[in-house]
Amino acid sequence: MRWMTRGMLLSSLLLLGACASQTGVSEEFDRSVKSYNKMVRWHEIESAGTTYLDPDLQPDFLRQAAALKKRGLSVTDFRILSSTYIPEKKTGEVLTEFDYFILPSNRIKTITYRQIWMYQENSKSWKLKSALPLFE
- Alpha carbons 32 and 4: distance in angstroms, whole number: 42
Per DSSP bridges, beta strands 91-102 and 109-120 are antiparallel
35 falls within a domain: yes
**Other Cβ atoms within 10 Å of 26 Cβ, number:** 14
11 falls within a domain: no
Query: 3-state class of 117 per DSSP?
Result: strand
Domain that holds residue 83: 25-128
CATH code of residue 69: 3.10.450.50
18 falls within a domain: no
From residue 10, give the alpha-carbon distance in Å to each of 4, 7, 16: 10, 5, 10
Q: Are 29 and 92 in contact (CB under 8 A)?
A: yes
Q: pLDDT in tens for each of the 136 residues of the chain?
A: 666 555 554 454 444 444 445 568 999 999 999 999 999 999 999 999 999 999 999 999 999 999 999 999 999 999 999 999 999 999 999 999 999 999 999 899 999 999 999 999 998 999 999 999 999 9
Number of separate domains in the chain: 1
pTM over 0.75: yes
